[in-house]
Amino acid sequence: MRILGISGLYHDSAAALVVDGWIEAAAQEERFTRKKHDAEFPKHAVEYCLSVAGCGLDELDAVVFYDKPFIKFERLLETYLSFAPRGFQSFKMAMPLWLREKLFQKQIIAKELKKLSPGFDVEKLLFTEHHLSHAASAFYPSPFEEAAILTMDGVGEWATMTLAVGKGNDLKVHKELHFPHSLGLLYSAVTYYIGFKVNSGEYKVMGLAPYGEPRFARLMLEKLVDLKEDGTFHLDQSYFNYSVGLTMTNDKFAALFGEPVRGPEQLLTQFHMDMAASIQAVTEEIVLRLARSVRAETGMKNLCLAGGVALNCVANGKLLREGIFEGLWIQPAAGDAGGALGAALAGYHLFHGKPRDVPAKGDAMRGSYLGPEFGPAQIEAELTTAGAKFEVLDETALIEATAQGLADGKAVGWMQGRMEFGPRALGGRSILGDPRSPAMQKTLNLKVKYRESFRPFAPSVLREDVADWFELDGDSPYMLLVADVREELRREMTAEEKALFGIDKLNVPRSSIPAVTHVDYSARIQTVHAETNPRYHQLISRFKALTGCPVVVNTSFNVRGEPIVCSATDAFRCFMGSEIELLVVGNCILRKEDQDPALKLDYKEAFELD
């Protein structure tokens, strides 16, 4: 039985294919079109999924879309009516788009599917609810026979948060919190207020938070959020504008905190850092209260998470350390792209009633390496066409040369195997560096990623060594948990390092691996497992043999403003548009000094900084 799941037409379009309950393929449309957060129908992602299965659309048993547009339209209308006459301008702008493109999405999706396969039977097109898709994506691939499932995001149709329970192949939603009361939208409102883009800048707020103090947290809980003991809450809508306006917050919100909305190019001040710390603290308090009440209400020992808020790895780390649940599993594609996978799994287990096999070891996501991979001939052909100068090595020589490059302080572009599904690079499409280098964080941020210098980088660490380097003794394969660097590895930053980083704060904490240690000694950890990514595991093992350090810097293989690379052509373009010094694609190795200078790209000019 083949079930295709689709998400999109709002943002982060994606497709996923499940065959007899096995996740065969999943990918975001942005990786193919090179348009970040591409919202168009995921034509290329669908074609990729079908190519993996070796079948056509007309051979599928069902195509499942991840939400129900008519219910979403009902919410839109009811919201505008309840706030009228406020929001008329927004209503006037939204209605033509809905009536032209969004309301009749079944016809639009059917039309796109028929373009791909004229014989496609429209009766096979099904719809599931947004948060049910998230819940399915969290529970069905998890390692648990039964679990509570908490989904938290901006908004689906009406729901902004749901509690579900999964047992075997059954999954039922028990409770919902409804729009406009939304943890995701609250976090996005502060993201907007601090001057970052909604739906992409939330990571920046989380990264900025450790530089501040949560001095506004109490004010937020007194004025913005009426938080109950069980974690449910109501937001005072008089401070917000997202329900019917064109902005997230209003003048009353700005007056409450005493500063106007920050412009994107304005200097970040201590005020903005304190706002980030405050919304992070409020988010963590809500998540912890929710988790406690879910455990008490359901009696479940395991918890699964999905929805955009589940990408807040700092909150996830605190939840793990609290020990409220014996088992915690988070869907790596927790945002809307993962809704495609949840829709496909719901189609298989719920709509068709098929049984579920719980993995004997690990989970069913296969390391989240579910995207395209490219054979040696195709890689070499693409690099040749691009004008690249490269050398082809056997695996042993390739690992040795790459590990030595890392040990020598080089920034390395690393493209191997299948592309990751979800927002994190996990050693399939990554930029790597030496974590021991005090200069590496600043170098990668400013010269490779072209982004703010405060942004932290993640460590990839051998699973067998994680407890020796971090305050974590467990799996974190998807970079969704934050833990501290072990105390014996910590030290204060030297005067020379402070000058290098341009930081004038006193007592800035660092560690033996400063490039992956945030200012509060924390790190967003990825444990690397030989079973799911053997070549990446070999590379880090060889780096450990050379340096004594089983950790490498891992950040996504892209520059600010573009999606993570997919193909060898994408990788070479990024290589030539940044100060990456070594590129390793399949068994091909490329050195920057060997390349034709005429092929250099000015990425800084080509992409607007977001």
Mean pLDDT score, 71-99: 61
pLDDT at residue number 452: 72
pLDDT at residue number 156: 75
pLDDT higher at 441 or 313:
313
Contact 333, 16 (CB under 8 A): no
Portion of the chain with pLDDT greater than 90, in percent: 75
Between CA 132 and CA 176 the distance in angstroms is 11
Range from 31-45, 59-73, 146-160 carrying the lowest mean pLDDT: 59-73
**How buried is 267 (Cβ within 10 angstroms: 0-12 exposed, 13-18 middle, 19+ buried)?**
exposed
pLDDT at residue number 10: 81
Per-residue pLDDT band for 251 (boundaries 50, 70, 90) equals very high
Between CA 141 and CA 363 the distance in angstroms is 6
Contact 445, 502 (CB under 8 A): no
Range from 68-82, 205-219, 244-258, 311-325 carrying the lowest mean pLDDT: 68-82
pLDDT at residue number 492: 66
Q: In this structure, what token pair is assigned to residue 276?
A: 């980030």
Per-residue pLDDT band for 448 (boundaries 50, 70, 90) equals confident
Range from 35-44, 106-115, 151-160 carrying the lowest mean pLDDT: 151-160
pLDDT at residue number 8: 87
Question: Is a pLDDT exceeding 60 seen at residue 269?
Answer: yes
Per-residue pLDDT band for 610 (boundaries 50, 70, 90) equals very low
Nearest to 580 by CA among 465, 589, 31, 334: 589
- Please give the mean pLDDT across all residues of the chain: 90
Per-residue pLDDT band for 442 (boundaries 50, 70, 90) equals confident
- C-alpha distances (whole Å) from 346 to each of 71, 112, 169 are 19, 22, 9
Instruction: Give the CB-side neighbour count of residue 568, counting CA atoms within 13 A.
Output: 27
Contact 309, 243 (CB under 8 A): no
pLDDT at residue number 505: 46
**Per-residue pLDDT tens for 405-436?**
999 999 999 999 999 999 999 999 999 999 99
Three-state secondary structure of 193-255: HHCCCCCCCHHHHHHHHHHCCCCCHHHHHHHHEEECCCCCEEECHHHECCCCCCCCECHHHHH
Nearest to 524 by CA among 423, 594, 439, 604: 423
Mean pLDDT score, 438-466: 84
Question: Is a pLDDT exceeding 90 seen at residue 360?
Answer: no
pLDDT at residue number 33: 97
**Per-residue pLDDT tens for 272-327?**
999 999 999 999 999 999 999 999 999 999 999 999 999 999 999 999 999 999 99
Residue in 11, 178, 352, 529 annotated catalytic = 11
pLDDT at residue number 92: 59
- Judged by DSSP in three states, 347 sits in helix
Between CA 14 and CA 26 the distance in angstroms is 7
- Judged by DSSP in three states, 496 sits in helix
Q: Known catalytic residue: 178?
A: no
